[in-house]
Structure 1
Amino acid sequence: MKKRVDVAAGVITRADGSFLLGQRAPNTFYPGYWEFPGGKVEAGETAEQALIRELDEELGICVTSIRPWVTREHRYEHAHVRLHFFEVTSWDGEINDHVHSALSWEHADRPGVGPMLPANGPILKALRLPRRMGITHAVDIGTEAQLTRLEAALERGLRLIQVREPGMPRDELASFAGAVIRRAREYGALVVINQDSGLARKLGADGVHLPATELGRTAARPAFEWVGASCHCRAELERAAELGLDYALLGAVRPTLTHPDREALGWRAFADLVRDLPIPVLALGGLVEADMDSARSAGAHGIAAIRGAWLQS
């Protein structure tokens, strides 16, 4: 059995959303393949400390902002690697590479280099997942009001919508969800339908979102490009990862009107629950745009909201 090697990798990101990739040099494993910069975690180091050291040694930069993100495992022919990915959004110094054959700034939706190192490939899709999800509540505020707020949110940059309307008659739901999808398409936004895979297929939605109650009953990942799930505990998060889902929602971080009697997690418990998961997690529960930094510092990919998503900022 191969010994597991812990590696820290950095998603070094600029303000325009581009991230840095390095091409592996000759005389290394997988020469010519592209990867996220980083390196092996040495004895006595945390993964975060290792990445800060590696980026100094490899690129000559001093990291000033680093956030935990996802952790993935991959079995190569020469090693079993556990990759701890961190997001690096600010640093001091000019990037001056010392180990790669080349560097390139790329965008997840249109990468211009390849092939990717196998362990790094799935990260590109995770980087395509928008940072904010708006969850509809037309049953509470009316369909016209919801569509008006949706259009305003799309104008402000919202790019991920979950249609979730418990209690809405199916014919009405189909009409409403279709209207949401049409508006979202104009902005290149993704739409997932809560629970109803048949309706999602019929309307050509981008995916489906599973309630937590469905996770235990789901034997295989539904056949959509984007599939996520609502989770409330570590076991549910691990089940979502086992199914190969693209994301999970975890909450409630704060008390909510939807579930006023449910005890809120708080950011510390949220961070503990999402630590070392292989899929991105969106924080949910009483959150607004101003909570984004707190969420990402706790290891969240971003935030999801029902009421907060439609507030004017």
Structure 2
Amino acid sequence: MNHSATPIAESAPIVEVVAAVILQPDGRFLLTRRPGGKVYSGYWEFPGGKVEPNESLLHALERELWEELGIHVRQAHPWITRVFSYSHATVRLHFFRVVEWEGQPSSREEQELFWQSPHQVDVSPILPANGPILQALSLPPVYAITRAAETGIEAALQHIERALQNGLRLLQIREKQMAPDALRDFAGKVLELARPHQARVLINGNAALAQELGADGVHFTSPQLMAMSSRPDPGYGLCAASCHNAEELFAAEQLELDFAVLGPVQPTLSHPGLSPLGWRRFATLIRGYSLPVYALGGLHREDLPIAQEMGAHGIAMLRGIE
């Protein structure tokens, strides 16, 4: 399930490449500038390189980071895989998030190094294949989902305000049972709370309401996803979708959505009719996937490390607002 930025000829060989998103605790990541004499010299990219024959991806990552930067990888998680066609080659880029390492990154191949923030990338030009990766890095690890019908509107707004103060930056308004006028009023109040914190708010299933209120995007239901033939107009902002199986993940990928949510991973009261995937099945479904994926279903904040170890971007939680 690999997304291609440009059409790939049937006979074009694909070069397997590993790329490292080396992450500081504050979210900053390392970019390196390609030295003179190389293709795309002067362009900034994530460190990494070609996978050698019969070499595992993780071993290739460890080897490349030692050769390029003089660091030993202690902990790295698979993340996003994307296929991109350059004029000189078609590459399959296997991105890993490196969260622990030994040593201080230093230039061992005459390349420049620069730590960057997901919300302010100051270097250019960036290697073309890395644009979607920079966008994905701006997505926070927790995606909270409202449940005002269960807690009551006033309590829900109080919980949301507290969560925003505590760092929540991505929120989905999902209120299936709320009357249209009440939903419009509730969503408007949530947006008012979110704006001062620069948190992004998506509205579930209602693109018209999202546009009317100036929300940051739309979260499509799986039936809506499967009925779509093209990505919505850019005016919708962020576009995400709920997925439960490989077919729905494939549809989200083909539509080039910004991210997907996959679940339920564990048993959940909100989807009693769906059998939980479990972590092994979850990891298998998103292996080699080109979009950021949030794990959903019976999860809590302490499940974030295992979700990311399995390849998830983060976790989505109905109770992530409390």
Per-residue deviation, 1:75: 0.4
Residue equivalent to 2:305:
293
Within the alignment, does 1:310 sit opposite 2:321 as a pair?
yes
Residue equivalent to 2:8:
none
> What is the CA–CA distance in structure 2 between the aligned matches of 1:131 and 1:142, rounded to whole Å?
26
Per-residue deviation, 1:2: 2.5
Residue equivalent to 1:259:
271
What amino acid is the match of 1:245? L
Residue equivalent to 1:158:
168
Q: Which one of 37, 47, 50 corresponds to residue 47 of structure 2?
A: 37
> What is the CA–CA distance in structure 2 between the aligned matches of 1:297 and 1:96, rounded to whole Å?
26
> What is the CA–CA distance in structure 1 between the aligned matches of 2:131 and 2:65, rounded to whole Å?
20
Q: Deviations over 1:259-287 (max 9, x none)?
A: 12321111111100111111000000011
Residue equivalent to 2:134:
124
> What is the CA–CA distance in structure 1 between the aligned matches of 2:301 and 2:151, rounded to whole Å?
21
Q: Which one of 50, 73, 77 corresponds to residue 63 of structure 1?
A: 73
Per-residue deviation, 1:134: 0.8
Residue equivalent to 1:186:
196
> What is the CA–CA distance in structure 2 between the aligned matches of 1:3 and 1:81, rounded to whole Å?
9
Calculate the TM-score normalised by the size of structure 1: 0.97
What amino acid is the match of 1:108? P
What amino acid is the match of 2:290? P
Q: Which moved more, 1:99-108 or 1:200-209?
A: 99-108
Per-residue deviation, 1:40: 0.2
Q: List aligned pairs for 1:130-149, cutoff 5 A.
A: 130-149=140-159
Per-residue deviation, 1:100: 4.4
Calculate the TM-score normalised by the size of structure 2: 0.95
Q: List aligned pairs for 1:155-304, cutoff 5 A.
A: 155-223=165-233, 224-304=236-316
> What is the CA–CA distance in structure 2 between the aligned matches of 1:48 and 1:197, rounded to whole Å?
41
Q: Deviations over 1:162-204 (max 9, x none)?
A: 0010021111100000001110111110000001111000000
What amino acid is the match of 1:295? A
The 1:2/1:100 distance shift into structure 2, 3 A limit, reads farther
> What is the CA–CA distance in structure 2 between the aligned matches of 1:95 and 1:162, rounded to whole Å?
38
SS for the counterpart of 2:227 is: coil
SS for the counterpart of 1:216 is: helix
> What is the CA–CA distance in structure 2 between the aligned matches of 1:310 and 1:135, rounded to whole Å?
7
Moved over 3 A (4+): none
What amino acid is the match of 1:210? F
> What is the CA–CA distance in structure 2 between the aligned matches of 1:244 and 1:90, rounded to whole Å?
31
> What is the CA–CA distance in structure 1 between the aligned matches of 2:211 and 2:302, rounded to whole Å?
34
SS for the counterpart of 1:192 is: strand
> What is the CA–CA distance in structure 1 between the aligned matches of 2:100 and 2:316, rounded to whole Å?
25
> What is the CA–CA distance in structure 2 between the aligned matches of 1:129 and 1:103, rounded to whole Å?
23
Identity across the alignment (%): 49
Q: Is the 8 A contact 1:22 1:100 kept in 2?
A: no
Q: Deviations over 1:1-33 (max 9, x none)?
A: 321000000000111111000000111111100
Q: List aligned pairs for 1:74-153, cutoff 5 A.
A: 74-153=84-163
> What is the CA–CA distance in structure 1 between the aligned matches of 2:110 and 2:264, rounded to whole Å?
43
Per-residue deviation, 1:96: 1.7
RMSD of Structure 2 on Structure 1 (CA): 0.9
Q: Is the 8 A contact 1:154 1:187 kept in 2?
A: yes
Residue equivalent to 1:9:
19
- Give the paired residue count: 310
> What is the CA–CA distance in structure 2 between the aligned matches of 1:265 and 1:29, rounded to whole Å?
43
SS for the counterpart of 1:186 is: helix
